[in-house]
């Protein structure tokens, strides 16, 4: 359930960032969200708790299974997907440390867009980190939804439907992720 909430947040976050294609609309949304965060701090606390719970759960699973390819814990699913799920989680955790640090630099800055553009300017490594993070997030979300549908017993009756749904989720998130990055790296 935590993963489903985070997937919803990621879709909203990518959508909001994609508004960077329209700087005035992006700036207006950024100002609105900053004001909302100031008025309702429990939203930020809730998001941090959600991220923390998902991170702790992921680290516990990682401790049990490790990062090696052959894992006895595949439970009938693809060993490759299980391996990539763990690695994408590690990439996401590392990225979140950078992303949250960068967000803290922007707190209170009146022109969010220029700060973000300035952070990407001339930094191929930072751009590559964001591209890798978007790819890891997309895979982790879609594969997590696929795995979750099995754990919750949803895949039993209609596995083809759930496969299509999770693949569509991945494609939509990938598209939103590219749109979210594009205005800030071009």
pLDDT tens-digit series, residues 1-30: 788 888 888 998 889 888 888 888 988 888
> What distance in Å separates the CA atoms of residue 174 and residue 179, rounded to the nearest whole number?
9
Comparison of pLDDT for 13 and 110, the residue scoring more: 13
Comparison of pLDDT for 120 and 11, the residue scoring more: 11
Please state the domain extents for the chain: 2-185
Residue 34 has pLDDT above 70, yes or no: yes
Residue 58 has pLDDT above 90, yes or no: no
> What distance in Å separates the CA atoms of residue 158 and residue 1, rounded to the nearest whole number?
20
What pLDDT was estimated at residue 148? 84
Rg (CA), the chain: 18
In CATH, 2-185 is 3.50.50.60: no
CA torsion through residues 155, 161, 164, 169, sign: negative
What confidence tens digit (pLDDT) does each residue in 122-165 have? 678 888 888 899 999 999 999 988 888 888 888 888 888 988 89
């Amino acid at each position: 359930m935590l993963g489903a909430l985070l997937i919803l947040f990621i879709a909203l976050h990518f959508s909001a960032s994609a508004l960077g294609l329209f700087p005035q609309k992006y700036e207006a949304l950024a100002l609105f969200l900053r004001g909302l965060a100031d008025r309702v701090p429990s939203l930020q606390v809730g998001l941090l708790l959600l991220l923390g719970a998902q991170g702790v759960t992921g680290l516990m699973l990682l401790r049990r299974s490790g990062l090696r390819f052959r894992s006895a814990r595949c439970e009938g699913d693809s060993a490759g997907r299980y391996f990539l799920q763990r690695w994408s989680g590690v990439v996401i955790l590392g990225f979140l440390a950078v992303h949250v640090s960068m967000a803290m630099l922007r707190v209170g800055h009146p022109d969010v867009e220029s700060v973000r553009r300035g952070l990407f300017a001339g930094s191929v490594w930072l751009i590559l980190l964001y591209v890798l993070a978007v790819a890891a997030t997309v895979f982790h979300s879609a594969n997590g939804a696929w795995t979750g549908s099995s754990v919750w017993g949803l895949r039993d009756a209609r596995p083809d439907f759930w496969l299509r749904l999770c693949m569509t989720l991945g494609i939509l998130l990938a598209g939103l992720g590219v749109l979210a990055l594009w205005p800030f790296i071009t």
